[in-house]
Amino acid sequence: MNRRGSSTEAPAFHAVDIIRAKRDGHELTNAQIDWVIAGYTAGEVAEEQMSALAMAIVFRGLNGRELDRWTRAMINSGERLDFSSLAKPTVDKHSTGGVGDKITLPLAPLVAACGVAVPQLAGRGLGHTGGTVDKLESIPGLRAHLTNKEMLRQLAEVGVVICAPGAGLVPADRKLYALRDVTGTVESIPLLASSIMSKKIAEGAAALVLDVKVGSGAFMKTRESARELALAMVDLGRAERMITVALLTDMSVPLGRTAGNALEVAESIEVLAGGGPADVIELTVALVREMVAAVGRDDHDPADLLASGAAMDVWRSMISAQGGDPDAPLPTAHDTDVITAERDGFLQSLDARCVGEAAWRLGAGRARKEHAVQPGAGVVLHAKPGMRVQAGQPLITLHTDTPERFARAREALHGAYTIGNSAPEERPLILDRIG
């Protein structure tokens, strides 16, 4: 593992001059960008100054050269991982986040079953989108924090690791991500692209497949904005000689039938066992096909390997290697509350954002990073758009350990779905491919 520091030759600047320059629509020089990222990481640029600069970038943006330099400066704030000693090629996947997006859990062991190593660094959830680390930590005993040495050994022995990034990986992003979350600057495409890609490039995989979500439950609400983000990230990856492909996928409706940590793990295990919701299977297999093709290991059909149980074997090995018990019962919530259909008809719509908000209010998510989540909290969907329902039939079951949360979760779901006399037009799950 190789640590890279910022250049000591960069000239000194005043943060306020850099803020004013971007505020007034000027390009930042490479030296200014290097200085401000290094200074912020070291605590020499104040939080309020970086807040002001981030907001200036929201309104003024970064051009291609600025974005490339900003991303490189963030990478250079810490270490780069090195997997060159592995006998297998490495590939990673990143999702921009969505409601019920448990795809990493069945996907990573399936890619490993195809003979490709998967160093999957994942995060915790903040807000309604949930986090892969939170989901995994609902498995009794599982360790999500591994050393670089432990990661490398597990990749060599099992072929896959899903864990939290170490403190040495892109420390500039760790600070800036937390700042953006509390200053209303998360959705900025340049800041979002550099945040994602600095970590993924520093992670060191040979190839990356991006799942860029579009819709009410995603950061990017329109296909145009999602495409802009995807293009920016693909360009950043290729500039660093990383094979990079992006799929734009629909997030107007939750993925699968669950939103919540242990609930999503259980659904993922169902997929690995050969069952599970059709949309989760479709997206998992599509992304895996992109990942193995990117590194030239597409001689096996991932759908066949999933059906064979090979990915389940890898899953169990991965969980055991990280201290978890793959046979232990998952946590369940103490209390449930059922929302039923008011009339006969077809479920015509189900808003992902509202479902995510309900899961968050039930305790599946957190308002601040230091808050704990309830492993068993969340939402189970008994119907998806296009299905016929009857009056009194269960539509949604709410799960929580704190039943006083039910009222606010129901408020979040008010108007979240519609029932009509005809089935809605079927929506494609995969909207576009870039790369």
Residues recognised as catalytic = 94, 173, 180, 195, 199
**Rounded to whole angstroms, what are the CA distances from 426 to 281, 383, 385, 422?**
17, 15, 9, 12
Query: Which residues, 6 or more positions from 7, have their beta carbon under 8 angstroms from its beta carbon?
Result: 34, 38
In angstroms, rounded to a whole number, what is the distance separating the alpha carbons of residues 60 and 26?
Answer: 9
Decide: residue 349, CB within 10 A, 0-12 exposed, 13-18 middle, 19+ buried. middle
Would you give the DSSP letter of residue 297?
A: -
In angstroms, rounded to a whole number, what is the distance separating the alpha carbons of residues 381 and 253?
Answer: 11
The answer to whether 134 and 151 are in contact (CB under 8 A) is no
The answer to whether 221 and 105 are in contact (CB under 8 A) is no
Calculate the CA dihedral of residues 189, 195, 198, 201 and round it to 10 degrees: -80
Side chain identity, residue 432: D
The answer to whether 287 and 274 are in contact (CB under 8 A) is no
Query: Which residues, 6 or more positions from 150, have their beta carbon under 8 angstroms from its beta carbon?
Result: none
In angstroms, rounded to a whole number, what is the distance separating the alpha carbons of residues 61 and 305?
Answer: 44
